[in-house]
Amino acid sequence: MAVLALSLLCAAGCGVSEEAAAAKDRESSKATWALVLRVDGADVRIPLTAMNVLLFKDEEHAKQNPSVFQIEGNGVHLIGEIAAADNVDYGEHWERLINKTLTIKASGEFHRDPVDSKIVLPGTPEIAVTGGTMFVEKFTGKWSGSEGNKTLSGKITIQLADGRMLEGTFAVHAVTWG
């Protein structure tokens, strides 16, 4: 009887696939992916989908030029750059970004498509983002790729076209493409 009970328990929990483990970890991480900005004295939480980082196939080009990133979320698009010296490369060395500042730009190009940085805040129309910075404090996660859970988090400052400077925090799913 004890053997049957142990067999049933193991059948229920011992055979967890890697895909199932990754999906569970992704769902847990996904709950944290957001911008939290201080707007008019209140914290505003904006869910984020991903930070897509475009890699260079040419290693020499990568050593001399910044990598481009694009952050997407619920009413937010940000384009920016990672310094060439901090390139995460095909090995996904996200730890290289810890304690580094990433630049948010007003506009740029991601995989040959023009991208304008913009955000929608509660109760307001879309507004252009003219610049900003992201200071990466932490990297977490085990699973790579668009269905993974690799997460960068830290502090963010965003300059808006109306002159306001918003500060807050970010946590975003980090994915490389190239």
Give domain status of residue 2, yes or no: no
Sequence-separated (6 or more) residues with CB below 8 Å from residue 151: 29, 32, 33, 139, 140, 141, 171, 172, 173, 174
Q: Where is pLDDT greater, at 4 or 33?
A: 33
Q: How many percent of the chain have pLDDT more than 70?
A: 83
Give domain status of residue 11, yes or no: no
CB–CB of 104/131 below 8 Å?
yes
Give domain status of residue 73, yes or no: yes
Give domain status of residue 113, yes or no: yes
Report the number of distinct structural domains present in the chain: 1
Q: Where is pLDDT greater, at 128 or 65?
A: 128
The per-residue pLDDT of the chain, averaged, comes to: 85
What range does the domain containing 71 cover? Answer: 22-177
Q: Name the E strands within 13-73.
A: 34-39, 42-54, 67-73
Give domain status of residue 150, yes or no: yes
State how far the Cα of 61 lies from the Cα of 72, in Å rounded to an integer. Answer: 26
Give domain status of residue 46, yes or no: yes
Q: How would residue 64 be classed by pLDDT, with cut points 50, 70 and 90?
A: confident
Q: What is the mean pLDDT of residues 67-93?
A: 92
Give domain status of residue 143, yes or no: yes
Q: 72: burial class by Cβ within 10 Å (0-12, 13-18, 19+)?
A: middle
User: What are the tens digits of pLDDT across the range 138-173?
Assistant: 999 887 777 787 899 999 999 999 999 999 999 999
pLDDT for residue 4 is more than 90: no
pLDDT at 147: 74
